Chain A
Amino acid sequence: MASSSDIQRGDAIHPGDPVIVSRYTTPKRINHWITATSLILLALSGLALFHPSLFFLTGLFGGGQNTRWIHPWIGVVLFVSFYIFFFQLWRANIPRKVDFVWAAHAKDFLAGNEDKLPELGKYNLGQKVVFWAMAALIVVSIVTGVIMWDQYFATATAIPTKRIAILIHSIAAVLMICVFIVHVYAAIWARGTLRAMTRGTVTGGWAWKHHRKWLRDLAGHGRIDPAE
């Protein structure tokens, strides 16, 4: 079991009452907020062009022309920022056997009977699915997005290619927005999660409840802040 690969640079336990566990370093958090902000802006600016009933969203970006040019550039920001994050996290997101045992007990998870579930590393299967889905959808979006980016790449591909690209881009966008809703909602539903994105830390109890194996590994490897 390559469980210790779940431990990332900066992950550490700070003894106290309650125990505090560092989960994301400041640069990682700043980057994740850039990813999140650009994804929201992309969804809003893209949806503005997606359907006439949403065209009013162009008002947020200073009109249709501005929405049109800014969207692909935000896409570039999203791509870079997400893929920095990707290479920091991908190892800890490789699905393992235990994830499927956990998934088979999804009912107990939703009901809050964590003790019936196997102990998990830094991420559960739901988080891993979000991670890989986003990784795939963002690649698909940037590839199709560049193909349809007529201001710079109009002559790079033929019109039939662009038609397929825009079809795939709009489907990928819908899927990405759905995954995004699941991701944000899960972070809100599992109380105590959001502080991982605001303060970078979670409580020991949260780690015990959701990612006990990760907590045990941190403790077992002596990743305990000596200051206490």
Chain B
Amino acid sequence: MSNSPITAVSNPPVQPVSADLGPRDLKRRSATLDLPPPERQLTEVAKLIDVSKCIGCKACQSACVEWNDTDPGVGENVGVYENPGDLNPNMFTLMRFSEWVNPETDDLEWLIRKDGCMHCEDPGCLKACPSPGAIVQYSNGIVDFIHENCIGCGYCIKGCPFNIPRLSKADHTVYKCTLCSDRVAVGQGPACAKACPTQAIVFGSKEDMKAHAEERIEDLKSRGYENAGLYDPAGVGGTHVMYVLHHADKPHIYSDLPDRPEISPVVETWKGAVKYVGLAAMGIMAAGAALHGLIAKPSTVKREDEEHAEALVEEAPKNGEGV
């Protein structure tokens, strides 16, 4: 696999290449207790989205629909620029627009953010997933949903700190951005990066992308955006989709991008303590009952109990004579 950034400007070779990303490259696999370590360490990849260069043309959305062969249907005007109105099982990425008045300059800033899976290093979706192998993470950092293993429970939706996965009513499985794992497997960059006319989206090794981001941040700072910075949130171990933000001190102004994303403590408790304590409690209960059954003597009804009952019934007023 090529390690150099693959964007619209650096075209990859066009001769056929066999896919080089598979089960032996898995670093994490959902609901799998004994995953062997990956056979090799692939170069960590990343997609870098420079929001300051984005013109909101939605070419990336079109490219995504085309490459993934999805059908988001004919859009509906819901009174905002977003189209469709939200991510859905057929739309893995979405340009989100917000109008923000900068309190320092009183300027209206039109903030455009390409929303989609962040490919977290510590993915909450994968942690929440109960189905073995329905969500995997490759050693290059890509988090992918394997649809034939997906059972449609929607646990990943609760696990994700970014509100990304969407459940399909058509096939009852969950969809999200794959970081074009099928393209990366053959040395190509993601379709969105390929289509972006301003190179606001670039793709390559995570290291290269961070270096490239540094240059962009320096440029933005020189132009007065003193809070420009990289969004690679540590709370989820960093991400394999990163943003260059001109206001990196307040990510939330970009259509509610979480300031400090992390896997919810509620999810951690549910997938952690509850499982251990729960299995132990049920086990102790079952073992206790079995043991008591073996050791203790059962409560049995004696002959004299039956005789007492018979005597009681003899003495009782007969039907109709009762009180």
Q: Chain A: residues with CB nearer than 8 A to chain B?
A: 13, 15, 17-19, 48-53, 55, 58, 63-65, 67-69, 110, 112, 148, 150-151, 154, 159-160, 162-164, 166-167, 170-171, 173-174, 177-178, 181-182, 185, 188-192, 203-209, 215-216, 219-226
Contacts and interface: CB of A to CB of B under 8 A. Distances in A.
A185 B293 contact: yes
Given A151-B152, A151-B172, A159-B158, A51 B323 contact: no
A103 B282 CA distance: 24
Contacts of B315: 219
Interface string B103-143: 00000000000000000000000000011100000000000
A65 B285 contact: no
B311 to A, nearest CB: 10
Contacts, number: 189
A185 B158 contact: no
Given A208-B309, A224-B313, A55 B266 contact: no
Contact of A163 (B149, B264, B274, B296): B264
Interface of B: 31-33, 130-132, 149, 151-155, 157-158, 163, 167, 169, 172, 264, 266-267, 269-270, 274-275, 277-279, 281-282, 285-286, 289, 292-293, 296-303, 305-310, 312-323
A100 to B, nearest CB: 21
Contacts of B299: 112, 189-191, 209
B313 A51 contact: no
11 contacts: A19-B309, A148-B158, A159-B163, A160-B266, A170-B278, A181-B285, A189-B296, A208-B309, A208-B312, A220-B322, A222-B317
B33 A53 contact: yes
B313 A220 contact: no
A64 B148 CA distance: 10
B31 A55 contact: yes
A206 B306 CA distance: 7
B272 to A, nearest CB: 11
A191 B300 contact: yes
Nearest to B278: A174
Nearest to A192: B301
A204 B169 CA distance: 57
A164 B266 contact: yes
B130 A222 contact: no
B158 A163 contact: yes
A18 B316 contact: no
B130 A50 contact: yes
Contacts of B296: 110, 189
A67 B46 CA distance: 36
Given A55-B131, A151-B172, A191-B299, 11 more contacts: A55-B130, A150-B167, A159-B157, A174-B278, A174-B282, A189-B293, A192-B301, A207-B309, A219-B312, A222-B323, A224-B319
A51 B275 contact: yes
Contact of A215 (B152, B157, B274, B312): B312
B151 A67 contact: yes
